[in-house]
């Protein structure tokens, strides 16, 4: 089974569902640790490119997924999963209310997750050097950043795994190209001393520029009826659901 999709950047092409060989790949822990799993799944399940969008694709050659924006990669993986197992996705959630803490099942339709197209500003920046500008609200200085590609994501994951940076700092360093008045070798120190509010503002600006699938959702506990916001979980069951869920 195949399907034609259009990604947030305008990249369009035909995908297929997962086969047994991709299931074997998903179970390969070594491939998962190296970051090669999703790269291989994308390459295998992307059958043809109808519109390259902002990417340079040589005629007769496959799309280079390491150079594709994370927003497009993630959207494509979601569509591959939906094509393979259907639109429904069920997962377990624990109620955040201290007086409850009930664990319950929640299900949603992947097609109902909001998708933001990449803005014209972000598209133009990506195709002309991948450099966008913002300003720190408290510090006031300018910061230039890039849209994240698959290669950037893998580098950040390796840095995090090596213990070189914390989660927040790794996320910032993966994106920042230049900070006004700060030498590159001083960047880590500057980030350590930066106001946390400025760091959060930067992450919000990154998210705004990225576009893509909104994965922050609301769930309601059936036991106490409290509503909480969670990030959609992407665990083993997302690509290898139980037979009942599939």
* Nearest residue to 134 via CA among 205, 193, 187: 205
Distances (CA, A) of 181 to 140, 143, 147: 11, 10, 22
Out of 56-65, 86-95, 122-131, pick the least confident: 56-65
Distances (CA, A) of 206 to 68, 114, 146, 220, 232: 16, 17, 8, 29, 19
215-244 mean pLDDT: 86
| Band of residue 171 on the pLDDT scale cut at 50, 70, 90 | confident
Give yes or no for residue 244 having a pLDDT over 60: no
> In whole angstroms, what is the distance from residue 242 CA to residue 235 CA?
12
> In whole angstroms, what is the distance from residue 58 CA to residue 55 CA?
10
At 196 the pLDDT is: 92
26-50 mean pLDDT: 80
Strands 46-51 and 88-94: unpaired
Do the Cβ atoms of 45 and 63 come closer than 8 Å?
no
At 233 the pLDDT is: 87
pLDDT digits (tens, 9 = 90+) for 197-227: 999 999 999 999 999 999 999 999 999 999 9
């Amino acid at each position: 089974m195949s399907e034609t999709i259009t990604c947030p950047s305008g990249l369009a092409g035909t995908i297929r569902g997962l086969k047994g060989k991709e299931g074997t790949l998903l179970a390969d822990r070594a491939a998962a640790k190296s970051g090669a799993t999703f790269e291989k799944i994308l390459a295998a399940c992307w059958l043809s490119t109808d519109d390259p969008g902002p990417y340079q694709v040589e005629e007769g050659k496959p799309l280079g997924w390491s150079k594709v924006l994370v927003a497009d990669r993630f959207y494509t993986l979601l569509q591959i999963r939906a094509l393979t197992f259907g639109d429904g996705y069920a997962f377990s959630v624990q109620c955040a209310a201290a007086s409850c803490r009930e664990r319950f099942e929640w299900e949603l339709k992947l097609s109902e997750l909001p998708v933001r197209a990449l803005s014209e500003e972000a598209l133009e920046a990506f195709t002309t050097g991948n450099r966008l500008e913002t300003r720190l609200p408290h510090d006031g200085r300018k910061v230039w950043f890039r849209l994240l590609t698959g290669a950037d994501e893998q580098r950040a994951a390796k840095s995090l795994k090596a213990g070189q940076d914390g989660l927040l700092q790794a996320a910032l360093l993966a994106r920042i190209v230049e900070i006004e008045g700060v030498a590159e070798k001083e960047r880590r120190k500057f980030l350590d001393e930066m106001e946390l509010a400025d760091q959060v503002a930067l992450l919000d600006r990154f998210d705004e520029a990225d576009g893509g699938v909104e994965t922050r959702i609301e769930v309601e506990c059936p036991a106490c009826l409290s509503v909480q916001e969670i990030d959609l979980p992407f665990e083993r069951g997302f690509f290898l659901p139980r037979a009942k869920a599939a």
